[in-house]
Amino acid sequence: MRQLGKDEIMNMFAKTGALLEGHFRLSSGLHSGRYLQCALLLQHPEYAARLGAAIAGRFKGKEITCVAGPALGGIVIAHETARALGVRCVFGEREDGRMVFRRGFKLTARDKVLVVEDVVTTGRSIKELIEAIKAGGAAVTGIGAIVDRSSGGLKLDCAMEALAVLDIPTLDPSECPLCEKGIPLVKPGSRK
């Protein structure tokens, strides 16, 4: 399959209204003037399938038995990536503040897991999901994402492949010029 370019991916975000401008509180607690609302993009099966196949293509030839994504944002893209790879998909969710596998999902030492996320900023969800995968005895073979907006500051134990790398500044709330201007703060993400 032909790889998707950054411009093509950003066009998908724009066409679906998933690239938002304003004043946002990210799941990390940081603020930003732009937000990628992947749910608006991934509600369109044709885009979700293309993005999942593109992530899967980045891991062609790797031994992968399962794809795992963090709830809530990573579920759809993890599922589409798993479909393209022809493997099963599981998702982790927070319980009492830590990422776990519930709903009967089990990983074993035989599993080689690809972690997939929609947008990566600080990598907190990915790191927590990797801990849950290792606690199940499985190995992590790689990390895939639609967008990496970590500005190069992300340190992970295995390689990450993002379809697009964007430099969207994040702001410490104590130094946020958007707060100073009185622009209303919106919390669009899934983590409270």
Q: What residue spans define the domains of the chain? A: 6-180
pLDDT for 124 beyond 60:
yes
Distances in Å between the Cα of 45 and the Cα atoms of 41, 77, 90, 154 are 9, 10, 19, 30
pLDDT in tens, 43-97: 999 999 999 999 999 999 999 999 999 998 899 999 999 999 999 999 999 989 8
Global confidence as pTM: 0.90
Residues ≥6 apart with Cβ < 8 Å to 115 = 67, 68, 69, 126, 129, 130, 133, 140, 142, 143, 144
Predicted local confidence at residue 168, as pLDDT: 86
Q: How confident is the model at residue 191 (pLDDT cuts 50, 70, 90)?
A: low
Average pLDDT, the chain: 91
pLDDT for 152 beyond 80:
no
- Mean pLDDT throughout 124-149? 93
User: Domain 6-180: which CATH class?
Assistant: alpha beta
CA dihedral of residues 127, 98, 28, 118 (deg, nearest 10): 60
Predicted local confidence at residue 24, as pLDDT: 93
The helix, strand and coil proportions of the chain, stated in percent and rounded to the nearest 5, come to: 30, 30, 40
Q: How confident is the model at residue 26 (pLDDT cuts 50, 70, 90)?
A: confident
pLDDT for 178 beyond 90:
yes
pLDDT for 136 beyond 70:
yes
Q: Say which DSSP state 99 is in.
A: E
Task: Give the amino acid at 124.
Answer: R
Higher per-residue confidence, 121 vs 174: 174
